[in-house]
Structure 1
Amino acid sequence: MTVTDPATAATTSTRPAVGRVDAVHASRDHGFSKPTVDRVVLVEGVGVEGDAHAGVTVQHRSRVAADPSQPNLRQVHLIHGELFDRLAAAGHAVAPGDLGENVTTRGIDLLALPVGTRLTIGAAVVTVTGLRNPCRQIDDFQPGLLKQVLRRGADGGVERLAGVMGIVSRGGTVRPGDAIGVELPAPPHLPLTRV
């Protein structure tokens, strides 16, 4: 994967495109899936304009119940479209937006990015905060799907494969076909954990 060298990022206004937006999704309702739309507007520090999960503080129901004053580190949910290819090979028909993401990507190994990676998506910038922690609602959507996106790795650790979460660091409009640039944070790089 080609990325911007953090040492030269400050002096470079363009970041190499390493991926693209496949589709975008938003919903005003707290449902499981999100319908595909022609564009989304990302609002700095808030999330996807008009989306149920947008807000400065947490908007996911389980997080609100635990502590509604927590900062919202889950303003934007991104899933790599390659996951849907893998799920299809395992016998699951899952389309972009079905798992509730806001942005479906192609060409970026989202799960390998470190905490603090900045993704330039169209005119917007999303800073990656962590991994989505898939829950049992995925099996309600399609039986057996949870074990495809939450499993044990070869080392015995839990692998969360249902995408990454981020905050909006610069607002802007995002559309299918937009290029995605990747800017890694300064080392040391911290691996993503659930948020």
Structure 2
Amino acid sequence: MKGKVIAINRSEKKGVMKTPIGEGVFIEKFGLEGDAHGGDWHRQVSLLGQESIDKMVALGAGELEPGNFAENITTEGITVYELPVGTRLKIGETLQEVTQIGKQCHKGCEIAKKVGDCVMPREGIFTIILKGGVVKPGDTIEVLED
């Protein structure tokens, strides 16, 4: 199963939309360099499919762009929320492992306020960085079999 990277997104604060960047440097046991969610914990990197964003647009959320749901990596062609915890992904130069599917949205979420709903709690996933490296739009996402 393969997908591709649509965008790399970063923010300096938690709870806000992220801004697309040209490429991301992902650091082992940390996450995306310069991102507020980076650190030594189980939710270093967040991924959300463009397909999930498109669902929100179809429901009347208006124009949405990569990063609007505060995801670090916007994907395409792979249903990320169906990947089981423990799945390993080769994304660009990195090796990542899925640690969590969805999350509880915090009160006062800027995304939900702006968009009316947040798809991230249902369809976003989180990974840790097992091997760091550069990821850029257009890179392949490969699901590794054990």
Please give the TM-score of this superposition, normalised by the length of structure 2. Answer: 0.90
The one-letter code of the counterpart of 1:92 is A
Tell me what 2:71 maps to: 101
Q: Which has the larger strand fraction?
A: 2
Tell me what 2:134 maps to: 173
- 2:130 and 2:17 mapped to 1: Cα distance? 25
Equivalent in 19, 22, 46 of residue 35 of structure 1: 19
Runs of 4+ in structure 1 off by over 3 angstroms are none
Kept in 1, the 8 Å contact 2:81–2:102? The answer is no
Kept in 1, the 8 Å contact 2:85–2:101? The answer is no
Change (3 A) 1:112 1:184: farther
Change (3 A) 1:134 1:32: farther
Q: Mark the runs of 5 or more structure 1 residues left unpaired by the alignment.
A: 3-17, 57-71, 151-159, 186-195
Q: Once the 2 structures are TM-superposed, how far is the Cα of residue 30 of structure 1 from its aligned partner?
A: 2.4
Q: Secondary structure at the match of 1:133?
A: coil
Q: Deviations over 1:33-70 (max 9, x none)?
A: 010000111100111111111111xxxxxxxxxxxxxx
Q: Deviations over 1:67-116 (max 9, x none)?
A: xxxxx110000001101111111111222101101000001111111111
1:53 corresponds to 2:53: no
Kept in 1, the 8 Å contact 2:80–2:123? The answer is no
Equivalent in 26, 31, 34 of residue 10 of structure 2: 26
| Percent of aligned pairs with the same amino acid | 39
- 2:104 and 2:90 mapped to 1: Cα distance? 25
Kept in 2, the 8 Å contact 1:41–1:174? The answer is yes
Higher gyration radius (CA): 1
1:82 corresponds to 2:51: yes
Please give the TM-score of this superposition, normalised by the length of structure 1. Answer: 0.68
- 1:142 and 1:80 mapped to 2: Cα distance? 17
The one-letter code of the counterpart of 1:181 is E
Q: Mark the runs of 5 or more structure 2 residues left unpaired by the alignment.
A: none
Q: Which has the higher contact order (CA 8 A, sep 6+)?
A: 2
The one-letter code of the counterpart of 2:126 is M
Q: Once the 2 structures are TM-superposed, how far is the Cα of residue 134 of structure 1 from its aligned partner?
A: 4.3
Equivalent in 82, 90, 100 of residue 120 of structure 1: 90
1:140 corresponds to 2:113: yes
**CA RMSD in angstroms, aligned pairs only:** 1.6
Kept in 2, the 8 Å contact 1:134–1:162? The answer is no
- 2:15 and 2:54 mapped to 1: Cα distance? 23
Q: Secondary structure at the match of 1:161?
A: helix
The one-letter code of the counterpart of 2:70 is G
